[in-house]
């Protein structure tokens, strides 16, 4: 009976996410749960695929009244795909039953949760603008905007958030060397939110991993694990896997 309730709760969270009704922290928590549950990872993919089919059918019907909803739905579907891409293929089971790992393909930006297509939890107007630019394909303009702002900002939390967004956009475009520098800016800030710091180490580890700098990747994943937050369990999986590689 308890297991049934837990599963129903996870299904509810997945439904809320696909419909764009979870904030960034809740999405991180959902991610950590899905990584541990293969059945619900498949369930998530099915829901996202169904959502995309429905959205395409709705988009084929011309109606100005549903324009705003359709825009939110499109961003929600895109975000679902990003979340899945950030997890599926990361953990792979080999024939012996052991897990192997690979770096995440894309870092999900905080797109999706409102009519503007950006999470309501993103309070910086500059970051919101940069995310919109990046998702619209104006990547270099988004990078330039964040770089300029990063040079001006002194407040540690905001500086970390800008560097995190900048590094994420660069990572998604294969500019790993630059993204490393920005993720290191995140981890260098003092007295910032634990979740922000954790993301900094998690993404830094993945960036080192992309460049086959495995020892540095392991160190970054270890620090993410030690923060004991949303990324702790998956970070520990990476730490263990990389230790096995180095033996």
Based on the fold, state whether residues 71 and 133 are members of the same structural domain.
no
In a domain, 26, yes or no: yes
Residue 201's CATH number: 1.25.40.10
Neighbours of 92 (CB within 10 A): 11
Based on the fold, state whether residues 70 and 1 are members of the same structural domain.
yes
114-148 residues labelled b (16+ CB within 10 A) or e (exposed)? bebbbbeebebebbbbbbbbbbeeebeebbebbee
Average pLDDT, whole number, for the chain?
Answer: 75
Based on the fold, state whether residues 141 and 213 are members of the same structural domain.
yes
Give the highest mean pLDDT range of 2-16, 61-75, 192-206: 192-206
Based on the fold, state whether residues 64 and 159 are members of the same structural domain.
no
In a domain, 225, yes or no: yes
Based on the fold, state whether residues 87 and 127 are members of the same structural domain.
no
Last residue of a domain, one of 95, 112, 146: 95
In a domain, 217, yes or no: yes
Higher-confidence position of 23 and 242:
242
Based on the fold, state whether residues 174 and 233 are members of the same structural domain.
yes
In a domain, 29, yes or no: yes
In a domain, 104, yes or no: no
Last residue of a domain, one of 60, 95, 130: 95
Based on the fold, state whether residues 200 and 157 are members of the same structural domain.
yes
Neighbours of 243 (CB within 10 A): 12
Model's pTM, two decimal places? Answer: 0.64
Last residue of a domain, one of 95, 130, 158: 95
Looking at the structure of the chain, the number of domains it has is 2
Has residue 143 got a pLDDT over 60?
yes
Range of the domain at 227: 122-241
Based on the fold, state whether residues 70 and 127 are members of the same structural domain.
no
In a domain, 109, yes or no: no
Based on the fold, state whether residues 61 and 148 are members of the same structural domain.
no
Based on the fold, state whether residues 127 and 211 are members of the same structural domain.
yes
Higher-confidence position of 202 and 112:
202
Contact between 86 and 107 under an 8 Å Cβ cutoff? The reply is: yes
Higher-confidence position of 209 and 37:
209
In a domain, 197, yes or no: yes
In a domain, 105, yes or no: no
How large is the average pLDDT for residues 234-244?
85
Has residue 201 got a pLDDT over 90?
yes
Contact between 164 and 203 under an 8 Å Cβ cutoff? The reply is: yes
Based on the fold, state whether residues 86 and 128 are members of the same structural domain.
no
Based on the fold, state whether residues 76 and 138 are members of the same structural domain.
no
Contact between 221 and 242 under an 8 Å Cβ cutoff? The reply is: yes
pLDDT at residue number 181: 98
């Amino acid at each position: 009976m308890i297991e049934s309730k837990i599963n129903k709760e996870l299904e509810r969270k997945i439904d809320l996410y696909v419909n764009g009704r979870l904030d960034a922290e809740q999405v991180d928590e959902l991610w950590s749960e899905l990584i541990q549950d293969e059945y619900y990872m498949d369930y998530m993919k099915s829901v996202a695929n169904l959502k995309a089919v429905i959205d395409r059918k709705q988009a084929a019907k011309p109606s100005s009244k549903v324009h705003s909803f359709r825009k939110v739905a499109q961003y929600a579907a895109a975000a679902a795909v990003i979340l899945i891409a950030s997890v599926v293929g990361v953990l792979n089971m080999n024939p012996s039953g052991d897990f192997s790992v690979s770096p995440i393909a894309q870092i999900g930006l905080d797109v999706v949760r409102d009519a503007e297509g950006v999470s309501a939890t993103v309070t910086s107007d500059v970051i919101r603008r940069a995310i919109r630019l990046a998702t619209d394909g104006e990547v270099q303009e988004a990078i330039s905007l964040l770089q300029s702002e990063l040079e001006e900002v002194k407040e540690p939390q905001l500086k970390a958030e800008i560097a995190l967004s900048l590094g994420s956009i660069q990572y998604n475009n294969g500019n790993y060397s630059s993204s490393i520098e920005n993720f290191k800016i995140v981890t260098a800030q003092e007295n910032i939110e634990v979740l922000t710091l954790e993301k900094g180490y998690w993404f830094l580890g993945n960036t080192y991993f992309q460049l086959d700098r495995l020892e540095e990747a392991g160190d970054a994943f270890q620090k993410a694990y030690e923060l004991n937050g949303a990324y702790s369990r998956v970070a520990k999986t990476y730490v263990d896997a990389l230790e096995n590689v180095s033996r």
